[in-house]
Homo-oligomer: A and B are copies of this chain.
Amino acid sequence: MNGTRQFHLLAGRGSDPSARSDEAIYQALWEAIVEHRLVPGARLPEDALASAFGVSRTTIRRVLQRLALEQLVTLKSHRGARIASPGPGEARDVFNARVILEDALLGEVMKRINGSDLEDLEQIAREEQSAERERAIRLSARFHSRLMAIAGNESLSDTLSQLLSRSSLIIAIYGRGQTGCTCEHPELVALLRAGDSDAARHWMRHHLHDIEAGLDFDADGDALPDFENLFGHHRGRSVS
Which A residues lie at the B interface, using CB under 8 A? 62, 65-66, 69, 93-94, 96-97, 100-101, 103-105, 107-108, 151, 153-156, 159, 163
Contacts and interface: CB of A to CB of B under 8 A. Distances in A.
Nearest to A102: B104
B156 A101 contact: yes
- Copies of this subunit: 2
A69 to B, nearest CB: 6
Contact of A93 (B69, B93, B107, B154): B154
7 contacts: A62-B65, A65-B65, A93-B155, A100-B107, A101-B104, A155-B163, A159-B159
A187 B103 CA distance: 27
A153 B69 CA distance: 17
Given A66-B69, A104-B104, 13 more contacts: A65-B66, A69-B69, A93-B153, A93-B155, A96-B153, A96-B155, A97-B155, A100-B108, A100-B156, A101-B101, A101-B156, A103-B104, A155-B163
